[in-house]
Chains A and B, each alone.
Chain A
């Protein structure tokens, strides 16, 4: 297990480095002069040049990459050229909002999706199974921004139950929770369907395996067989899926953060790309890439812990 963990950790570092090299290379290809965009029409050529230097854009791409990694190793993500604030501070201010949104979405989608999947598998072929199937596929098919907009129109504008904008007062955790309801619904609803389908398929496979048949032959309760023996194995692909899902949720979070005018890393990156504020783009992508790689790493380690066969796959 330790050898697997070390190998997996090494892979995570390589993945992060490759992702960032790709990012910096893509930045070179994006049209539009960052200094012109950031400073506007009234800036002098001297000021534009100074900005290019501050962002390191006057250097070749390889130097930019080397400098960026050098800074990252010392925990410095650079300076936001617009506000003169530390990029690390700027990004870390936004991280809790995105994390809260993602974990709220994952939590409630797992709490609903996994039992639904189990239920559908146990009652395979029944009307209930078919209804769960239709609802699951429908929720997967609905884009998160559509859910966000209709959720806003119905629950905020029409019924007035939930707030439309913001993340709530900083000193009031429950106010923040209240502001999370609709955004997490928008981000997480599709995942209810994914998880239900995944757990159902996995459970159906596991329920036919020898160890489950053996348990039945020993006369164990169906409830014990389902949750102790079948679900434990069937959940493995779901754990990996959830790890991967965090990455997708970061993308969905961008829409939710824009539609609900919430702060967050997704919106920070979106705004920074629009304004060509590359130090912030690079810093924020570095953090989200690291977070994504960490989540998949944890998911893989959990999967390896639950199923020793996984350890030999790397």
Chain B
């Protein structure tokens, strides 16, 4: 390759020399030298209204164009910090006083950010007419009292610890302008009528990029980069190549790519590996024969060699899980009740009268990781004479499989490998396994009134130790039911240019306005 070592810049110059365009060369060179951060998002934005956002791509943009009272702190532990508030204090279990910082203002001539905007923003989340899908983040909000232009009190109906880890610090805690939002009919989509963050949405080219530019009216500490280009790249491998070629400065990596990046870091790039909050498990539909027999479920639990499944799916980049609550969060369990024991599994099958084995299906999402995990599970269960047929589904089909309102597919579900993402509060993990969620997101159809009651009580329990015990007990109940094999929380690989210093939450989620040039 010695004769082919032309750089991108030389290639561009060759284009220019060929008469294509000197202007083109200049523009590309400027882009390389400017203070522009180019980051990857896994999907394009669809809705920037905090009450109707669709997912992380919107959260990541909203964090820059709107302020909240608090935000997450970059680092390795889950801690909140002040964002648009100069003061935020829990004065008693149901009252939180706040005072906005000086100089916060709305774009487009909508004046200063006021305590009334805070009231409007939080109360609209629970407004039944608006019917926000995120109303649960503020489910115990009673009202917000406005004291003056800049201060007020959030009044709760009951103590609600998740507010500090979820409601206040993520999208549901972002403040919107009452005047501007009411002027556009009470809700908006991809055109925020007024912005107040460190950046403003300068341009959205659908499927191409979101361009965020410094907000000239921002009075707090100025962010480092002049512009942030958020580029939607659905395919993780493409993004990895983009990072290696120097076309983007930040992306998360597939877990299966982490070992490769560890071994051979990309030229000009760095790797950070963060513990994920998400949880992956093998579920069993307790209403579908033969998994309606507890002995069969416990046999499957003990027939699966979780480390070998993870080796197949994540190439050693992920650790086994002890439950659905990740390390570092309240309620994390230190160990499982059951472990890999094929002899015990055979005994259990014999007890269930199924020692000659049986046939069943395993539903998965059609990703490489799940397919590999499913094949390992298939091999483990084959040793007990259980023949597993793997059914791969695209995301549109998969996410409707257990939903009673979407058809009859829930009746045919037997084994499922599933993954749910998380916010840093245990209630976000347990909410989906209650009796009320049967046929919605509780696809195992496991019905434990004790679990349901504990879930309600743990949410409003202010004592951290008691809360911890409740969540540990809830995961014990899940495992004792036999319907769950906890696989992993996965791992988050973050690849970034060595020219930048990213600001990342403990699970690797980015806080773009905190990104800086490396020292």
> Which residues of A are at the interface with B, using a C-beta cutoff of 8 A?
30-34, 36-37, 39-48, 82-85, 90, 93-94, 152-153, 156-167, 169-170, 172, 174-175, 177-178, 258-261, 263-264, 267-268, 271, 273-276
**Which residues from chain A contact B54 at a C-beta distance below 8 Å?**
40, 82
**Which residues from chain B contact A152 at a C-beta distance below 8 Å?**
238, 241, 245
**By the criterion CB–CB under 8 Å, are A174 and B24 in contact?**
yes
Known: A160-B245, A165-B231, A178-B24. A268 touches B11 (CB 8 A): no
**By the criterion CB–CB under 8 Å, are B234 and A258 in contact?**
yes
Closest to A160 in B: B8
- List B46-66 residues whose CB lies under 8 Å from chain A: 46-47, 54-55
**By the criterion CB–CB under 8 Å, are A33 and B407 in contact?**
yes
Contact residue among A160, A175, A274 (Cβ-Cβ distance under 8 Å from B7):
A160
CA distance A160 to B232 in the complex (A): 22
Contact residue among B7, B15, B231 (Cβ-Cβ distance under 8 Å from A261):
B231
Most buried by B among A36, A37, A163, A166: A166
CA distance A44 to B134 in the complex (A): 10
- Could you list 23 A-B pairs, sorted by A, with CB under 8 Å? A32-B396, A33-B403, A33-B405, A33-B407, A36-B406, A42-B134, A44-B131, A46-B131, A83-B46, A83-B47, A90-B206, A156-B247, A161-B6, A162-B11, A163-B245, A164-B242, A166-B208, A172-B24, A259-B238, A261-B239, A261-B242, A268-B207, A275-B395
Closest to A31 in B: B397
**Which residues from chain B contact A170 at a C-beta distance below 8 Å?**
205, 208
CA distance A45 to B205 in the complex (A): 32
**By the criterion CB–CB under 8 Å, are A84 and B189 in contact?**
yes
Closest to B55 in A: A40
Most buried by A among B24, B207, B248, B397: B207
Closest to A177 in B: B20
**By the criterion CB–CB under 8 Å, are A274 and B231 in contact?**
no
Closest Cβ–Cβ distance, residue A295 to chain B (whole Å): 23
- How many residues of chain B have a CB within 8 Å of chain A? 62
**By the criterion CB–CB under 8 Å, are A258 and B47 in contact?**
no
Q: Does B133 contact A (CB under 8 A)?
A: yes
**Which residues from chain B contact A159 at a C-beta distance below 8 Å?**
1, 4-6
Known: A47-B131, A158-B1. A165 touches B233 (CB 8 A): yes
CA distance A172 to B46 in the complex (A): 26
Known: A85-B189, A159-B6. 6 other contacts (CB 8 A): A42-B133, A94-B207, A159-B4, A178-B24, A261-B235, A261-B239
Q: Does B27 contact A (CB under 8 A)?
A: yes
**Which residues from chain A contact B396 at a C-beta distance below 8 Å?**
30, 32, 34, 37, 273-276
**By the criterion CB–CB under 8 Å, are B133 and A47 in contact?**
yes
Most buried by B among A32, A39, A162, A169: A32
Known: A43-B133, A165-B233. A32 touches B20 (CB 8 A): no
Contact residue among A30, A164, A263 (Cβ-Cβ distance under 8 Å from B238):
A164
3 shortest interchain CB distances as A-B pairs: A33-B406, A42-B133, A174-B24
Q: Does B315 contact A (CB under 8 A)?
A: no
Q: Does B501 contact A (CB under 8 A)?
A: no
- List B17-58 residues whose CB lies under 8 Å from chain A: 20-21, 23-24, 27-28, 31, 44, 46-47, 54-55
Known: A159-B6, A175-B27. A258 touches B245 (CB 8 A): no
CA distance A83 to B47 in the complex (A): 6
Contact with A along B112-134 (1 / 0, CB 8 A): 00000000000000000001011
**Which residues from chain B contact A34 at a C-beta distance below 8 Å?**
396
**By the criterion CB–CB under 8 Å, are B407 and A36 in contact?**
no
**Which residues from chain B contact A164 at a C-beta distance below 8 Å?**
238, 241-242, 245, 247
CA distance A244 to B402 in the complex (A): 42
**Which residues from chain A contact B20 at a C-beta distance below 8 Å?**
174, 177
Q: Does B246 contact A (CB under 8 A)?
A: yes
Known: A33-B405, A40-B54, A165-B247. A258 touches B11 (CB 8 A): no
**By the criterion CB–CB under 8 Å, are A178 and B133 in contact?**
no
**Which residues from chain B contact A31 at a C-beta distance below 8 Å?**
393, 397, 400, 407, 409
Contact residue among B1, B235, B398 (Cβ-Cβ distance under 8 Å from A258):
B235
CA distance A153 to B244 in the complex (A): 9
Contact residue among A83, A153, A274 (Cβ-Cβ distance under 8 Å from B394):
A274
**Which residues from chain A contact B234 at a C-beta distance below 8 Å?**
258, 261, 271
Closest Cβ–Cβ distance, residue B253 to chain A (whole Å): 15
**Which residues from chain A contact B31 at a C-beta distance below 8 Å?**
169
**Which residues from chain A contact B24 at a C-beta distance below 8 Å?**
172, 174-175, 178
Closest Cβ–Cβ distance, residue A259 to chain B (whole Å): 6
**By the criterion CB–CB under 8 Å, are B8 and A161 in contact?**
yes
Most buried by B among A34, A174, A175, A261: A261
Q: Does B198 contact A (CB under 8 A)?
A: no
Most buried by A among B24, B136, B244, B245: B245
**Which residues from chain B contact A39 at a C-beta distance below 8 Å?**
133
**Which residues from chain A contact B23 at a C-beta distance below 8 Å?**
172, 174
**By the criterion CB–CB under 8 Å, are B399 and A37 in contact?**
yes
Q: Does B209 contact A (CB under 8 A)?
A: yes
**Which residues from chain B contact A37 at a C-beta distance below 8 Å?**
395-396, 399-400
**Which residues from chain B contact A46 at a C-beta distance below 8 Å?**
131
Closest to B25 in A: A174
Known: A82-B54, A169-B27. A36 touches B241 (CB 8 A): no
Closest to A148 in B: B238
**By the criterion CB–CB under 8 Å, are A259 and B235 in contact?**
yes
CA distance A37 to B400 in the complex (A): 7
**Which residues from chain A contact B21 at a C-beta distance below 8 Å?**
174
**By the criterion CB–CB under 8 Å, are B405 and A48 in contact?**
yes
Closest Cβ–Cβ distance, residue A114 to chain B (whole Å): 24
Q: Does B440 contact A (CB under 8 A)?
A: yes
